[in-house]
Structure 1
Amino acid sequence: MIAMCNKMIFSSLFIRFKNEHVRLRETVLLKKRKVIRLKIHLFIRKYKNAENTF
């Protein structure tokens, strides 16, 4: 019975750790996308401010 409880606790901790890891990777990807979008936006603004047109 104790072994079964330990196994359940370990499996729930493992699942929580796995979910946190996945969530962390998703957050990193979202931040990278945000930075890329910002760089593109700033590049376009700089290009337009130089009185150029696309």
Structure 2
Amino acid sequence: MAIEGADLKIDGDGEATVTLEAGEYIIYCTIPCGGGHEEMTAKLICRVKHFLKDKNV
């Protein structure tokens, strides 16, 4: 699999860590596996979440 717009590609079994900016990314399959391979995609949505200890800040 690979993430479009990110420097990440994993061939076969494995794992990786990547830091992404907030936004939408397309994940796609990089290993030809048969019919419909070209359509094997997913959308990854990264959002920024802010945490505040004191709401009065």
Q: TM-score, with normalisation over the residues of structure 1?
A: 0.27
Structure with higher Rg: it is 1
Structure richer in helix, relative to its length: 1
Structure richer in strand, relative to its length: 2
Q: TM-score, with normalisation over the residues of structure 2?
A: 0.26
